[in-house]
Amino acid sequence: MLWSDPENEPPEELRETQARVRRMGVLLALAMVLAMLVIGVR
């Protein structure tokens, strides 16, 4: 990257996709913790 390059601003759809992936990762982590608790209780 050169200092004269424009701001590295991702397009809107890419930002939406990144936010969606981040939310899915959080939900997946919570689901894993919940599954661990359920398995541990049994």
* 4 found inside a domain: no
Q: pLDDT at position 33, please?
A: 97
Q: Which two tokens stand for residue 11?
A: 């397009």
* 9 found inside a domain: no
* 7 found inside a domain: no
Q: How many domains does the chain have?
A: 1
Q: pLDDT at position 29, please?
A: 97
Q: pLDDT at position 9, please?
A: 76
* 21 found inside a domain: yes
Question: Could you read off the pLDDT tens digit of each residue along the chain, which spans 42 residues?
Answer: 556 666 777 788 999 999 999 999 999 999 999 999 999 987
Alpha-carbon span 39 to 33, nearest angstrom:
10
Domain span holding position 40: 14-42
* 29 found inside a domain: yes
Q: Which two tokens stand for residue 39?
A: 């398995």
Residue closest to 24 by CA, chosen among 3, 16, 5, 7: 16
* 1 found inside a domain: no
Kindly report whether the global pTM for this prediction surpasses the value 0.75.
Answer: no
Cβ neighbours for 18, distance < 8 A, ≥ 6 positions apart: 10
Q: pLDDT at position 42, please?
A: 75
* 19 found inside a domain: yes
Q: To which H or E segment does residue 23 belong?
A: helix 12-41
